[in-house]
Structures are given as structure tokens and as C-alpha cells.
Amino acid sequence: MNVELYSFKEIEKIRKACLVVAEVLERVAEQIKPGISTYDIDMIAREESKKRGARPAFLNYKPPFSRTPYPAAICVSINSAVVHGLPKKDQIIKEGDLVSLDFGAIIDGYAGDSAITVAVGKVGQKEEMLLKATKEALEEAVKMCVPGRWVSDITRAIHGTAQRYGVYPVRGLGGHGIGRRVHEEPFIPNNLKDMDKRDTKLKQGMVVAIEPMFALGTEDTVLDGDGWTVHTADRSPSAHFEYTVAITKDGPVVLTEFSNG
């Protein structure tokens, strides 16, 4: 496994991309309201990226798990859609929806990646708890991002938080290294069942995207007919939050920050 280590100067370049990501996500989140289509959300993300001189990292990007390039700038996943929600003109946001926004940007050859889940208007108590649990899992996972710890420590922090709240860490999905490419080694599972025998020790200079994804009813998923959107198998609501984090000698440094999240 080839894990990239980045210098301070390189991490500052990654931070530049991450700040664009955070700004774009904030602008997009401000526009989330009943009646807007996920296609419109994608157009906003493209325009906000262009204003900042960045290239959307996901647009026409072919990830390792797909046969075809992703045709949009942002992933917009609603309710039971966990990740990779493909924007559509006829998919309209409604009151009470949980909307996950996952966005990446590339600037000067370095990438940033982050995600937030937005509640549209009033949602139920279980959905509020799900959001709280997923955010807390992210914060707990970040604490593990120190030299000498292991990827499995991050996974345990995420999985353990899910168990405390009685929700489910989704299987087969997780975080990853990031830097010159959007997806780098190592893979960082959210569910302990996905940990294989190859654990990875965390080192100074690693940059990772930590992204807990929780569901109310199941850890299992199914792929939508669009070939991209991943749903919970029982169609229960899900939530997703993500930071890009640098592992430094002084501890974790979150490179993506939002005033709203």
C-alpha cells in the first residue's frame, strides 16, 4: 500500500483547495430550500467553483469503484440516499428532507473534499438524533488522527459512536487519503466489519478524508438504477459528514471548516 506523505508546503496547498470546498458548500447549503432541484444545486456548485478559480473534483472523475465518470460537480443525496446522489432536474427538495452535500475541489493540483447534511425545515426527533450522532462521530474520529495511531482507531471511534446512539455505520463505504488525487490510500472504513487484516499506522504528513455515514435502520446498502446513488437497503434515513484532516506532529488539523456546521 502506497500512502502519500505531504510536506508543510504541500499541506498548505491542500488547505487552499479545502477552503474553496468549505466556501462552496456554505454557499450551496444557503440555497437548500423546498422547491429547488438537485440539478439547480449542481449548477450553483459549478458556478461557485468557477468564481474561486477551482475545478470541481468529482466532475468527469472516474473513481475506482465505477465504470463511468461522474457527470456532476456535487453529490446530492436525499434521505435514504447515503452517498453519490446524482443531481437530476426532476428531483425536487421538500420540507423535512435530509440533504447530504458532498463536494470536492482541485486547485493548483491539490484536492480537498468535505460533506455536510442539511435538514430542510423541521425534521423528526430520530432524524435530529441521526444528525447529532454523525457529527459527533466525525469529531471523535478526528481526535484519532495523530501520528502513532491506526486507521482502525478511527474506525472504532466512528463505529462506537453509532452504537452509543443506536444507529448503523453503513458498510462498504468510508474515508480515504487525499492530496494530489481525490482518492488515495488508505481506505478508512466506517464499520468495523469492513476492517481487513491490513491496518495502517498513521504518520505525520498524511492527509485523510474522514466521513462517517450513518443510517437509522440498517448498515446495508443498495445501488440505485442511475448507477451512482447508494441507498440504505431498507430506505431508512441517512446522514453524512466529512472533513479533510492533516495529521501533524502537533495533532490533527481540520483543513475544511464551515461556519454553519
Three-state DSSP at 59 gives coil
Q: Environment class of residue 45 by beta-carbon count within 10 Å: exposed (0-12), middle (13-18) or buried (19+)?
A: buried
Q: Which is nearest to 212 in space by CA: 235, 166, 243?
A: 243
CA 24 to CA 14: how far, in whole Å?
A: 15
Q: Which is nearest to 11 in space by CA: 212, 243, 239, 204?
A: 204
Q: Is 240 annotated as a binding residue?
A: no
Q: Is 242 annotated as a binding residue?
A: yes
Three-state DSSP at 75 gives strand
Backbone φ and ψ for 57, nearest 5 degrees, come out as: -70, -30
Bridge-based pairing state of the strands 243-248 and 174-177: unpaired
Q: Which residues contact 152 (CB under 8 A, 6 or more apart)?
A: 192, 195, 199
CB atoms within 10 A of CB 193: 12
What is the grid cell recorded at 77?
Answer: 443525496
The alpha carbon of residue 107 and the mean position of all alpha carbons in its chain are separated, in whole angstroms, by 19
Q: H or E element: which one contains 222?
A: strand 221-223
CA 181 to CA 112: how far, in whole Å?
A: 9
Annotated binding site for substrate: 84, 183
Binding-site positions: 84, 102, 113, 176, 183, 211, 242
Summarize the annotated binding site for a divalent metal cation as residue ranges: 102, 113, 176, 211, 242
